[in-house]
Amino acid sequence: MLRGILRMTILGVVTLVLITAGYLGGFGISRQLFPPVSPPDGGAPAEWKADFPVFWEAWNYVHQDFYKTDIDDSALVNGAVSGMVRALGDPHTAFVDARRAAISDSDLQGSFEGIGATVEMREGRLTIVAPIKDSPAERAGLRPDDIILQVNETIIQNMDVTGAVSLIRGPKGTPVKLKVQRAKQAPFDVSIVRDTIKTSFVESRMIEGTPFAYIRLNDFGATAPEDLRAALQQLMAQNPKGLIFDLRRDPGGYLNAAIDVASQFLKPGQTVLIEKRKDGSAQEFKAKGGGLATNIPMVLLVDKGSASASEIVAGAIKDYKRATIIGVTTFGKGSVQNVHSLSDRSQLRVTIAHFFSPLNNEINDVGVLPDVVVEISEDDIANKRDPQLDKAIELLKSQTGATSFQFPAPAQYLAFGT
């Protein structure tokens, strides 16, 4: 029997955002387990048995003629399988080697072992977006926009991003030395002792000077639904007049988490998504009861980094007109994969279905279009302006008649999942 089969919605990211303690590259994983699926019986299909010797012919010529002697046969096999699935022409059907599979499997569980810094690849250079609060990276003095040039003795410029992250990760209590470039300063070394990093799936606060609540979901991790519910309970106790739900740069997560998150804003029984398979069958997934924010005036923020599970929620909210969506068109990743764990702990991810919004709108390669298009320019980023959030506040003010509001105590910034 083939073991370890999960249903996954997997994102092919444009900008890879990750935690060095655990790679947050945007894999959207469902917690729904399929029964074990048997591998194909009978060995090689008869129609291609005659052609498979071509592989071994090529294999033998490589070993016979290649000028280097240290050929890595495992790498050749991995490359062959990767090429096979790439030939299908589906970017989300993929072979993932054991190292990458181990990293992605730990993505959304809420804790990792590493240094604790959010990073992204910029022009081939691993760049720190921000250190996580109270992490080894923060205590070591790492700053946003620092560039990691080297990990221990390995230069990582133009390295595969997952490979670079795997070098920075490591067991709690072990040291790692980074060579860092900061602005125009000379590169310098930073030694950091790795630790267990607990990630925050949800950030929430009351927006100062307004009666509006703000919640950001960083990804649809294992504890994201309960973290979101806890944040909503605290915020709703303050009687906000409106809610801003931020899914920008949220690459997705567990499918079940998407349904649970959508259920906080939709009425019980409303369709969250429709899943369609190649045999023409379709399955609807419904919102559950007990939502804490089903009636409050609401704005949803999205951008091109909102993908997969984020698009499930955005599509449902749009179709039911539950909120005004502000931002730019989302990523457009609307497919579902079966993930097969192979004997060497690598994974084969095979697209089995596409998902659609409740009104049967295609998401894959299309995305979810906002109701109000507001872009963020490079100048906005440089000057720390957020016109999308500003527009959301403006819209809620017009909808609710609110102007300004003073809370009896300073607004609290709440972070859950830590």
Could you list the active site residues? 308, 319, 333
Instruction: For residues 192 and 176, give the distance between their C-alpha atoms in angstroms, rounded to a whole number.
Output: 5
| C-beta of residue 283 within 8 angstroms of C-beta of residue 307 | no
CA distances from 285 to 11, 93, 210, 250, 270 (A): 20, 23, 36, 21, 9
Instruction: For residues 220 and 17, give the distance between their C-alpha atoms in angstroms, rounded to a whole number.
Output: 14
CA distances from 116 to 52, 122, 250 (A): 46, 19, 18
Instruction: For residues 121 and 130, give the distance between their C-alpha atoms in angstroms, rounded to a whole number.
Output: 13
**Residue that the structure tokens 């973290």 belong to:** 227
For residue 340, the tally of other CB atoms under 10 A from its CB is 17
Q: What is the DSSP string of 2-46?
A: B---EEEEE---SS-EEETTB--S-EEEEEEEPPPBPPPSSSS-H
Helix or strand run (H / E) with residue 213: strand 212-217
Crossing angle, helix 224-236 and helix 255-263, to 10 degrees? 20
Assigned token pair, 76 = 């050749």
Q: Coil, helix or strand for 368?
A: coil
| C-beta of residue 256 within 8 angstroms of C-beta of residue 286 | no
| C-beta of residue 364 within 8 angstroms of C-beta of residue 25 | no
Please state the separation of Cα 409 from the chain's center in Å.
34
Instruction: For residues 318 and 325, give the distance between their C-alpha atoms in angstroms, rounded to a whole number.
Output: 7
| C-beta of residue 298 within 8 angstroms of C-beta of residue 340 | no
CA distances from 155 to 124, 192, 283 (A): 12, 17, 48
Crossing angle, helix 73-86 and helix 53-65, to 10 degrees? 140
